[in-house]
Amino acid sequence: MRVSIYSLFNRNFIRKEKIMNIKKLPNGKYRYREKYQDEYKVWHEVNVTLNTKSRDAQREARNILERKIAENLEKCNEINEKAKNITVNEVYKQASKKREMELSPSSFSQETSFVKAFLKKHGNKRIQDVKARDLQDYIINHSKSVKTMHALKRGINSIFRYAYVAEYIETNPVDRLDLPKDTRTKQSIAKLKQKFFTLDEFNLLIQQMRADADDDETNEKVDLIEFLFWTGLRIGEALGLKWSDIDVLDSKISINKSWDYHIRKMGDVKTTCSIREIDINTRCLNIVQNFKKYNSEFVFVTPKGGHLHYQRLSQYLKFEGARTNIFGKNPNNFTLHMLRHSHVTYLINMGVPEKLVMERVGHSDPRMLMGVYTHVLPENRVTLRQALNYRPSWGRNLISEKSPINVPRNNETL
What is the pTM assigned to this prediction? 0.61
CA-based Rg of the chain, rounded to a whole angstrom? 34
Do residues 366 and 344 touch, judged by C-beta distance below 8 A? no
Q: Please, which pLDDT band fits residue 5 given cuts at 50, 70 and 90?
A: very low
Are the CB atoms for 374 and 348 separated by under 8 Å? yes
Question: pLDDT: is 15 or 308 the higher one?
Answer: 308
Q: Identify which of 194, 222, 201, 210 has the alpha carbon closest to the alpha carbon of residue 313.
A: 222
C-alpha torsion angle, residues 371, 376, 381, 384 (rounded to 10): -40
Residues 91 and 168: beta-carbon distance below 8 Å: yes
Q: State pLDDT tens for residues 288-322.
A: 999 999 989 999 998 888 888 888 999 999 999 99
Predicted pLDDT at 386? 63
Four-residue CA torsion sign, 384, 390, 394, 398:
positive
Distance CA 368, CA 41 (A): 48
3-state secondary structure 260-320: ECCCCEEECCCCHHHCEEEECCHHHHHHHHCCHHHCCCECCECCCCCECCHHHHHHHHHHH
Return the pLDDT at 187.
Answer: 58
Average pLDDT over residues 132-154: 92
Q: Which residue type is seen at 83?
A: A
According to the model, what pLDDT value does residue 2 have? Answer: 37
The predicted pLDDT at position 243 comes to: 95
Q: What is the mean pLDDT of the chain?
A: 83
Contact 91, 162 (CB under 8 A): yes
Q: Would you call 37 helix, strand, or coil by DSSP?
A: strand
pLDDT of res. 404: 45
Mean pLDDT along residues 236-243: 94
Q: Which residue, 126, 34, 38, 33, is CA-closest to 76? A: 38
The answer to whether residue 194 scores a pLDDT higher than 90 is: no
Tell me the residue type at 321. G
